[in-house]
Structure 1
Amino acid sequence: MASKRVRVFLLSVTALVSLSAPAFTYDLSFQTPGAESGLKSALEGASLLVQNKDAKGKDGQDVLAAARADYNRIVSTLFAQGYYSGVVSIKLDGREAANIPPLDAPASVTQVTVSVTPGPIFHFSRAAIGPLAKGTDLPEGYAPGQVAQSGVIIDAASTATTKWRDEGHAKAQVAAQDIVADHRANTLSSEIRIAPGPVVTFGKLETSGNKRLRTKRLREIAGFPTGEVYNPKKLDEVQARLQRTGIFSSVAVTEAKVLNPDDSLDVSLAVVEQKKRKIGVGAELNSTDGLGLSGYWMHRNLFGGGERFRIDTGVSGIGGATGGIDYSIGARIDRPATFNPDTNAYVTTELSHKNEDDYDEDAFDIGFGLTRIFSDKLTGDISINYGWSKVTDSSGETIFRQVYLPTKLTWDDRDNKMDPTRGYYVQAGVTPFFGLDQNTGTGAQLTGDLRAYKSFGESKRFVLAGRLQLGSVVGADLAETPRDYLFYSGGGGTVRGQPYQSLGVTVLDGGTLTTGGTEFVGIQSEARFGITKNIGAVAFYDYGYVSGGGESGSQAGAGLGVRYKTGIGPIRLDVGFPVSGGTGSGAQIYIGIGQAF
């Protein structure tokens, strides 16, 4: 019993000594005789001793641990670059770190010397792998005569097994490998044998973690392809369907390690549900339009079947120099996996009031629609709606009643929706509308929105961005077209530097009433420059053209902006000035979250 107390006492003393040991840094010499600058940079980047050189609070035990780890890290880096005869020496105050027992670490270290002699570079004398699935595209570097980088060998094996998995062989794996280095000839012989295994079908889906969402609905939303030939992309689709519902904070799909006797593969699905309710707010400031505020309340699983219910409210034009205050309130309920796993159904309704320069409008809309997700990039949407609006302008009061069918297709392959640096966005829409009274015409609105992004340099700090907007109303006279289908130019979404909706046409009521046009072309262009990791600058030029009823006009604006990156997207500040057109003067200021387009 006494000896036990002594041991406890000694351990306590040791802990106190460790806690009170003074912090120190060490001098580091990193030598790579015969190495190219690129290889030396890679070796230094892999070294923990280099990374921790100026770190405070390190003792001798920490330095020894980093040194012993560096042997493997440095050798692995040499192999990755094609060097297999390298010699690595790491000395701590003159002692080789590999010869220092872990329990006999020095109390402190003042001098660290790392010496790496890479030796000659090796090339493949043989680069064999098989059997391969049809269409397998191996890395170009995996061939006789090429530099024998270890990463290329790993990539070749991964490519071969992945292709077999894509062809339905879920348990394809490397069965054997024979890799031999000839240090006399400075060559490497590599032979990899692949075991494809049988063609596999999907078996059962085992679910867990759902508490409020019914299991039946979880399975319907997941759309697990039981009985179909295995394809890893189908598992990605299962995960994506569940994630886009917004119900879950975590979705994990795990394949069983062993196949069933019939070569089917069971899969486990584990989910973690988010909180049922969510509240959000937003704000946007424009020097002409004033302050806009928005908010929403959302229930993620209203009836236990994944239904998302959301109420949105908004007020804009607060303190604006034109028009008055606009406000709206709307509700929408979405039901995922309606008819099939990739089709969502929704019901939406909205009450709104607009107080514009040339008219006031009270409106009500209600509709039912379907959204189809064809792929991770292509989405379609169609709905049938009833709309009622009362427009009051200098000509009096006009009631519009209509049934309309908004339809759109969206292709989006941008790398980041809030701050894109590459890719394209294309949206095409057609909205047939059918008038239900003598004031409302029958026709269709056609729209197009095309955006492109191109970045330059590895850091992607310089980005060119462009946007083209097109719009047309066909089949209905200007006076009989509901105001929401007409086109204006000016403001943050069209031409910055010009007041909001400042360009339209004045052909109604004898040419004294300004309204939107039936044709629209908008061009926005930006050059985005990254100044630091979080701060960027933007130069922009925008152009807009509106026509209708035999009248047309155009305007342009340009300016500069600043971006500050945050976790939810860049904070945007743009200052624009009119360039052409007689619709505005002076600076226009725009503040928001996310890029302008």
Structure 2
Amino acid sequence: MAIGGALMAGAASAQPSPAPTTQQPTSSTPPSPIITDRDFEAALPPVEAPVEAPANPVASSAQPTTATDPDLTKPLVPLDDFNKEALRDDNGSGKTETSPSLSYRWHVAGLENLRDADREAPIEGGALVDSFEAVSALKQGKGKATNAAAIAARIEQDRQALSDVMASQGYFDAGVQSSVAMPEQGKPGDIVVSMAVTAGPRYRLGAIRFDAPALVPPDLLTRHFGVHSGEPIVAERVLSAEAALGVLLPQSAYPFAKIGQRDIELDAATGIGDYTLPVTPGPRSRFGDIKIKGRRPVFDARHIATIARFRKGELYDSRQIDDLRKALVATNLFATVTVDPAQTGISAGDNTEYADLVVNQRAGPPRSLSAQAGYSTGEGIKAVGSWSHANLFPPEGAIIASATAGTSEQGVSGTFRRSNAGLRDRTVEVSLSANHTNLDAYEAFTGALKGRISRASTAIWQKRWTYSYGFELIGSNEQDYAFEQAGERRRTFYILALPGQITYDRSNSLLDPTRGYRLSATLSPEASLGSNIQTYARSIFEATGYYPIAGKLVLAGRARVGMIGGASRESIAPSRRFYSGGGGSVRGFGYQELGPKDPDGHPIGGRSQAETSVELRYRFGNFGVVGFVDSGQVFTSEVPTFNSWRFGAGVGVRYYTNFGPMRFDIATPINRQIGESRVAVYVSIGQAF
């Protein structure tokens, strides 16, 4: 027999398969037993006797029956005059009678201990049972039915479902028998429905053929088809292999390929089924031009070509189209956007044609508001809110206004940012800001003009190498402690900095890594301008690593070293020195609390620092717990000396969201000293590292 489009995946449908088009092996299924009301009489509740029919119910057409009821001779009442009140089945008592109900039990035999006759290999009978029960009418009825006919209909439906499930595993000749056992007359009990499956031979794939013209490479279909001759004809595997070809062909320069209707010719004598699949590949294609479509397009073809990772003339690959669509969605500028290939019929050489890309786009709202807040011991409460127009200067030229309010920091800033600036994921940014900072270490009124060019990882593409470089022009009036004056002093600094950073990332996640590592280096040559120009260089080196121990248990570690060389500590603005302590540094201590201090116990910063952190993270669902030990210190020397090393330890909880984990940590200093808090609390978004 020939099996075409009716090949099922498991028991996804209980509908009968189409009739075969050629010879079919004789089925071993016996006829279904007839379930009549007489069979169920003992289980049925008593009902009123039916009204006796007249002796001659059908009158001759030559002598029609005469109506004896005078109401039948009256004219029909207009429809509008009918009483439209719904009928009630409560006999005027207000209580609705329940329908009579039969109870039944059912079971299926013959699935659990199936064996492959040719190879003596056990078959997953439990999976067959699960597939059948997913569509079983008897199971869905939950052991209750209103009458015998309902049970009979469910039995017949389940017989067909069992046949389909067996056919999905290659048992096309499987037989299904059913029987019904009634309770004794006059005694309560359940009706017992039994179904027995006789598997019969299991058919295997014979020849596998593809009805298709020559492709490039010639073995493109045969090499990637997921099933092979000799395997049992399992619907799920066959359908999965066909779906894989439907994905493979557009990835292999055939964007217009179509998979036809399969044909499996079964031979009952040999138990072999020869498989044929028609494939219409369409023209082998190369990327053509980008065409814009839509009432309110956001980007022109030139900018979309900048975002794309392919160029005109390259062989078509649907994965590149998926990447482009994701990148367009990630700009957050579209209400809807699609990217589809279109045939052109224009030769691209080498027996290929150009396939244009039609980008259908509709603009979304470009303006947005955002806010975030956090708290940490020493720094206090801090809230940041921002307003942005993401496409005020097309393409992707955004204006962002933000404000910061907190117990130790207040400020405003304005930023111009152009994303995908001439290159995918390259950002050009210029900002102007004014801030007031009041910390234990110093107080500063600062204005800054900053510019930066960066290439960073994104949510859809985590890059191995990222970088940034730029400039900073800073004017800052700062107050700190002067040892030579034995008191507070206020100075104004004018600073030019040229910071640069490079990162190598081999971790498996941008927001919540569980394996791999990251290496980062930052170098910032700086000059403090004024009557006495000072030049120096700030450098920071950091490494993080993540190692899965077992299951959801991850060991994470961090090491950081910072150095300033070329100037004395006193000549460096307090805001440019190194400090340690706080939620992103050494937990257990207040913000900037570690390191050298003035006579009043306030930190004064240093020219070098060293920090380490070790975390044991365990996640369960959307929540997680963390135990950690942090350590570090700030030093007056240019290079860390690692003396007076301090430790903090604590625990934390995490709540995992789509934009990263929310973090709550509580820690305490080890070997606490005078003036240090017993407990430090940190609340923020994102892992500590």
Name the residue aligned to 2:445.
362
2:496 is matched with which residue: 395, 403, 407?
Answer: 403
- State whether structure 2 residue 284 is matched by structure 1 residue 199: yes
1:245 is matched with which residue: 331, 351, 356?
Answer: 331
**In structure 2, what residue type is equivalent to 1:586?**
R
- Residue 297 of structure 1 deviates from its aligned partner by 1.1
Name the residue aligned to 1:445.
539
Q: Which moved more, 1:277-286 or 1:547-556?
A: 547-556
Q: What's the % identity of the aligned pairs? A: 20
Cα distance 1:198–1:212, how it changes in 2: closer, same or farther (>3 A)?
closer
**In structure 2, what residue type is equivalent to 1:538?**
V
1:306 is matched with which residue: 357, 382, 396?
Answer: 396
Inter-partner Cα distance in structure 2 for 1:366 and 1:63:
81
String of CA shifts for 1:120-162, please: whole Å, max 9, x gaps: 6665555666967489795796334555543433444454554
- State whether structure 2 residue 526 is matched by structure 1 residue 434: yes
- Residue 503 of structure 1 deviates from its aligned partner by 1.9
String of CA shifts for 1:309-360, please: whole Å, max 9, x gaps: 21222233x3xxxxxx222322222223423454332212222222222222
- State whether structure 2 residue 476 is matched by structure 1 residue 383: no
String of CA shifts for 1:45-86, please: whole Å, max 9, x gaps: 743759966799x99999999999988987776666x44347
Inter-partner Cα distance in structure 1 for 2:262 and 2:281:
15
Q: 5 Å matches for 1:156-167?
A: 156-160=241-245, 162-167=247-252
Inter-partner Cα distance in structure 2 for 1:493 and 1:71:
65
- State whether structure 2 residue 380 is matched by structure 1 residue 290: yes
String of CA shifts for 1:234-268, please: whole Å, max 9, x gaps: 32332233223221243221223x45343221222
String of CA shifts for 1:538-561, please: whole Å, max 9, x gaps: 333333354451653433333333
Cα distance 1:28–1:90, how it changes in 2: closer, same or farther (>3 A)?
farther
Q: Specify the SS of the correspondent of 1:260.
A: strand
Contact persistence 2:633–2:645 (CA under 8 A): yes
**In structure 1, what residue type is equivalent to 2:542?**
G
Inter-partner Cα distance in structure 2 for 1:125 and 1:4:
71
Inter-partner Cα distance in structure 2 for 1:61 and 1:315:
74
Q: Which moved more, 1:516-525 or 1:206-215?
A: 206-215
What is the number of residues matched between the two proteins? 556
String of CA shifts for 1:138-194, please: whole Å, max 9, x gaps: 579633455554343344445455445334333344467553455665555545565
- State whether structure 2 residue 626 is matched by structure 1 residue 538: yes
Name the residue aligned to 1:344.
427
Cα distance 1:241–1:566, how it changes in 2: closer, same or farther (>3 A)?
closer
Q: Which moved more, 1:129-138 or 1:432-441?
A: 129-138
Name the residue aligned to 2:127.
39
Cα distance 1:415–1:443, how it changes in 2: closer, same or farther (>3 A)?
closer
2:615 is matched with which residue: 522, 525, 538?
Answer: 525
TM-score (norm 2): 0.66
Q: Specify the SS of the correspondent of 2:586.
A: coil
Inter-partner Cα distance in structure 1 for 2:157 and 2:574:
70
Inter-partner Cα distance in structure 1 for 2:472 and 2:267:
75
Inter-partner Cα distance in structure 2 for 1:228 and 1:156:
27
Contact persistence 1:202–1:265 (CA under 8 A): yes
Contact persistence 1:168–1:230 (CA under 8 A): yes
Which has more helix, going by share of residues?
1
**In structure 1, what residue type is equivalent to 2:251?**
D
Inter-partner Cα distance in structure 1 for 2:375 and 2:550:
31
String of CA shifts for 1:370-394, please: whole Å, max 9, x gaps: 2336892214333223233333211
Aligned-residue Cα RMSD (Å) equals: 4.9
Name the residue aligned to 1:102.
none
Contact persistence 1:487–1:520 (CA under 8 A): no
Name the residue aligned to 1:490.
581
Inter-partner Cα distance in structure 2 for 1:117 and 1:413:
55
Cα distance 1:432–1:538, how it changes in 2: closer, same or farther (>3 A)?
closer
Contact persistence 2:449–2:474 (CA under 8 A): yes
Contact persistence 2:442–2:575 (CA under 8 A): no
Name the residue aligned to 1:106.
none
**In structure 2, what residue type is equivalent to 1:272?**
R
Q: 5 Å matches for 1:450-461?
A: 450-452=544-546, 454=548, 457=551
- Where in structure 1 are there 5+ consecutive unaligned residues? 15-19, 95-109, 319-324
Q: Which moved more, 1:394-403 or 1:307-316?
A: 394-403
- Where in structure 2 are there 5+ consecutive unaligned residues? 1-75, 89-95, 113-123, 182-190, 348-352, 483-488
Name the residue aligned to 1:554.
645
Q: Specify the SS of the correspondent of 1:442.
A: strand
String of CA shifts for 1:80-105, please: whole Å, max 9, x gaps: 6x4434759799999xxxxxxxxxxx
TM-score (norm 1): 0.74
**In structure 2, what residue type is equivalent to 1:371?**
S
Name the residue aligned to 1:100.
none
Inter-partner Cα distance in structure 1 for 2:605 and 2:394:
47
Cα distance 1:356–1:126, how it changes in 2: closer, same or farther (>3 A)?
farther
Name the residue aligned to 1:99.
none
- Residue 298 of structure 1 deviates from its aligned partner by 1.4
Inter-partner Cα distance in structure 2 for 1:336 and 1:77:
54
String of CA shifts for 1:275-314, please: whole Å, max 9, x gaps: 2321122222334533222211111221343322212222
**In structure 1, what residue type is equivalent to 2:375?**
L
Cα distance 1:283–1:189, how it changes in 2: closer, same or farther (>3 A)?
same
Contact persistence 1:212–1:304 (CA under 8 A): no
Name the residue aligned to 2:14.
none
- State whether structure 2 residue 481 is matched by structure 1 residue 394: yes
**In structure 1, what residue type is equivalent to 2:415?**
R
**In structure 2, what residue type is equivalent to 1:205?**
I
**In structure 2, what residue type is equivalent to 1:166?**
Q
Contact persistence 1:298–1:308 (CA under 8 A): yes
Name the residue aligned to 1:275.
365
Contact persistence 1:43–1:74 (CA under 8 A): no
Contact persistence 1:561–1:575 (CA under 8 A): yes
Inter-partner Cα distance in structure 1 for 2:415 and 2:566:
30
Contact persistence 2:111–2:197 (CA under 8 A): no
Contact persistence 1:209–1:273 (CA under 8 A): no
Cα distance 1:360–1:169, how it changes in 2: closer, same or farther (>3 A)?
same
Contact persistence 2:405–2:411 (CA under 8 A): yes
Inter-partner Cα distance in structure 2 for 1:171 and 1:73:
36
Contact persistence 1:522–1:545 (CA under 8 A): no
String of CA shifts for 1:12-71, please: whole Å, max 9, x gaps: 989xxxxx9989998774636333464156416743759966799x99999999999988
Cα distance 1:410–1:22, how it changes in 2: closer, same or farther (>3 A)?
farther
Cα distance 1:476–1:91, how it changes in 2: closer, same or farther (>3 A)?
farther
Contact persistence 2:585–2:611 (CA under 8 A): no
Contact persistence 1:284–1:291 (CA under 8 A): yes
- Residue 594 of structure 1 deviates from its aligned partner by 4.2
Q: Specify the SS of the correspondent of 2:392.
A: coil
1:231 is matched with which residue: 304, 309, 317?
Answer: 317
**In structure 1, what residue type is equivalent to 2:496?**
V
Name the residue aligned to 1:333.
416
Inter-partner Cα distance in structure 2 for 1:87 and 1:72:
11
- Residue 405 of structure 1 deviates from its aligned partner by 2.9
Inter-partner Cα distance in structure 1 for 2:508 and 2:98:
48
Inter-partner Cα distance in structure 2 for 1:54 and 1:416:
46
- Residue 466 of structure 1 deviates from its aligned partner by 1.2
**In structure 2, what residue type is equivalent to 1:327?**
Q
Cα distance 1:434–1:421, how it changes in 2: closer, same or farther (>3 A)?
closer
